[in-house]
Amino acid sequence: MSLLNVKNLRTSFYTREGQTLAVDDVSFSLNKGEVLGIVGESGSGKSVACYSLLGLVPSPPGKIEGGSAIFDGKDLLKLNEKALRAYRGNRIAMIFQDPMTSLNPFMRVGDQLIEALRCHNKTLSKKAAKEKALSALEEVGINNARERIDSYPHEFSGGMRQRVMIAMALVTEPELIIADEPTTALDVTVQKQILQLLKDLQASHDLAVIFITHDLGVVADMAKHILVMKNGRVVEEGSPADIFENCSHPYTRKLIAAIPQSAKPDEFKYDSSHEDFVEAKNVVTHFNNTRGLFRQRIVSTVKAVDDISLNIREGEIFGLVGESGSGKSTFGRSLIRLVESQAGDIRIGKHRIRELGNTSLREARRDFQMIFQDPYASLNPRMTVFDTLAEPLLLHKLAKKNEVLERVNHLMDEVGLERKHIRKYPHEFSGGQRQRIAIARALAVEPRFIVADEPVSALDVTIQAQILDLLLKLAKKHQLTMLFISHDLSVVRYLCDRVAVMQHGKIVEIEETEKLFLSPQQPYTQKLLSAIPRIHTN
């Protein structure tokens, strides 16, 4: 008999715009000790389906419309809140995406574990609970757990925090763990460790796991069975082999195709005979931690960019990869002086960036633009698309008042947005469309050089693929030179001509993209490349 049997689950949200069926007739079952993968993009209903099981969908606006979820003989959907609490965290535990925000920042991690134990077992003494918490922390690989148990979440690194989260789920010895995008917020090498940990724990505890993710690669060699969800419905299911080799639904095919695994298309390759357009020599950017009454004493220095030299040829898309904290963003910002560097020499086109005064820097900014990771945060929410796009045109006197509308319409065409949306505000667009707006804003002033800082990492894979293609097309059309910063190696492989790998503020390796991917020379590059989750197909 299966441990969990979900039949015809339907969950709606009631909002001002009306009712939306977030989970539409979803059924699946799971045996003890089995791993089920649920794959889909944001808004596909994969998380809501699992939250519904435990009554964690906020209500209102959410409402479970029907179906059943039999867990060990009891229908979870029929239980009242109090009865459900006996299951939550006790027999069914959850691991959430972002351990930074999902752990209570005001509470010691030990207390958060002990609390999970003691709320289901009132007779357990504090001391016994602490011992259990300690062994759980040790099991997930927290070194010297006895000291760390009294730390607060912010004192751990991202990967360690996710380990704490896993320990918290594990400590009550549940039968089922629901892991909601447990590795999405992590660096690729850390992701690999956490996935391995989950795999080990699943086997050693004979756990049933529902693994929710947007990344097919992550679940490929872990799950026994995979559901692919879209718009609240299961569009395809089967074993990983079925999904990858004989998928029938076009959406699944699109998902698989969207995972960039290929090299840069030949038609977009740059001409390596071009001159260098960007030259950076021995760039150093340090951040000082200061103390004292007037912040006059420097106590420690973070060497975010530590003596970096590189050249980018005209028309080249140059990739800069590294894990979070490697200094890649700071370098990108130092190049175009959004951050002041302390030493070095930077040339972009005819501008010697570090020597420009305030006025000439402002004028020069026309020639280099930046695209940010999160278009929602970097677009002004109180400006319409038209205002956003018209502002740089007027500011740099690139268009007269009466030409502005025409120019903005043209920009909309270029980035693939419909002209009729011109008076809308950023929140009215989807993530992909917002990034198109951000790209249009950068292009408005007809720059020669663009720094793109993780422009696709907040997007779903299928959208990501569209934006990457758009960038390739635009770069070729406008002869753009681009520094493309990313932690995602497959994206870089698809887009970039050459790649630099950064670690601890230094460049580890610079190479032609394909050469780097096929025969990485440095151990760190090898480690990074081997951590990419791969889909093994026979």
Q: Is 154 in the site for other proteins (CB under 8 A)?
A: yes
Minimum distance, C-beta of residue 501 to other proteins, in the bound complex (Å): 32
Q: Is 85 in the site for other proteins (CB under 8 A)?
A: yes
Query: Which C-beta is closer to other proteins: that of 16 or that of 401?
Result: 16
Minimum distance, C-beta of residue 142 to other proteins, in the bound complex (Å): 18
Distance CA 408, CA 11 (A): 41
The correct pick among 5, 44, 102, 213 for binding other proteins (CB under 8 A) is: 102
Find the DSSP H helices in 119-249.
126-139, 145-148, 158-170, 188-205, 216-220, 240-246
Q: Is 294 in the site for other proteins (CB under 8 A)?
A: no
The correct pick among 22, 30, 39, 116 for binding other proteins (CB under 8 A) is: 116
Residue 393's Cβ-side half-sphere holds a number of Cα atoms within 13 Å equal to 23
The correct pick among 23, 168, 408, 437 for binding other proteins (CB under 8 A) is: 168
Q: Is 28 in the site for other proteins (CB under 8 A)?
A: no
Query: Which C-beta is closer to other proteins: that of 91 or that of 254?
Result: 91
User: What residues are paired with 452 via a beta bridge?
Assistant: 371, 484
Piece of 27-35, 102-110, 361-369, 375-383 that binds other proteins (CB under 8 A):
102-110
Q: Is 104 in the site for other proteins (CB under 8 A)?
A: yes
The correct pick among 8, 15, 101, 272 for binding other proteins (CB under 8 A) is: 101
Query: Which C-beta is closer to other proteins: that of 104 or that of 125?
Result: 104
Of the candidates 36, 77, 320, 394, the one whose C-alpha atom is nearest the C-alpha of residue 202 is 36
Query: Which C-beta is closer to other proteins: that of 142 or that of 179?
Result: 179
Q: Is 48 in the site for other proteins (CB under 8 A)?
A: no
Q: Is 283 in the site for other proteins (CB under 8 A)?
A: no
Query: Which C-beta is closer to other proteins: that of 155 or that of 200?
Result: 155
Q: Is 532 in the site for other proteins (CB under 8 A)?
A: no
Contact positions with other proteins (CB under 8 A) in 436-455: none
Count CB-CB contacts under 10 A for residue 467: 23
Of the candidates 108, 228, 121, the one whose C-alpha atom is nearest the C-alpha of residue 164 is 108
The correct pick among 87, 277, 318, 494 for binding other proteins (CB under 8 A) is: 87
Q: Is 105 in the site for other proteins (CB under 8 A)?
A: yes
Distance CA 33, CA 17 (A): 42
Q: Are 23 and 231 in contact (CB under 8 A)?
A: no
- Virtual torsion, Cα 512, 513, 517, 522, nearest 10 deg: 50
Distance CA 209, CA 195 (A): 12
Handedness of CA 83, 89, 90, 92 (dihedral sign): positive
Minimum distance, C-beta of residue 299 to other proteins, in the bound complex (Å): 8
Q: If binding means CB under 8 A, how many residues of this protein chain bind other proteins?
A: 30
Query: Which C-beta is closer to other proteins: that of 98 or that of 345?
Result: 98
Query: Which C-beta is closer to other proteins: that of 86 or that of 395?
Result: 86
Q: Is 106 in the site for other proteins (CB under 8 A)?
A: yes
Query: Which C-beta is closer to other proteins: that of 111 or that of 469?
Result: 111
Q: Is 374 in the site for other proteins (CB under 8 A)?
A: no
Q: Is 291 in the site for other proteins (CB under 8 A)?
A: yes
* Lookup result for tokens 């441990």: 3
Count CB-CB contacts under 10 A for residue 19: 12
Distance CA 469, CA 304 (A): 31
Distance CA 489, CA 105 (A): 32
Distance CA 514, CA 22 (A): 42
Q: Is 56 in the site for other proteins (CB under 8 A)?
A: yes
Provide the pairing of β-strand 481-486 with 225-230.
unpaired
Q: Which two tokens stand for residue 444?
A: 């408005």
Binding site for other proteins (CB under 8 A): 54, 56, 85-90, 93-94, 96, 98, 101-107, 115-116, 119-120, 152, 154-155, 165, 168, 291, 293
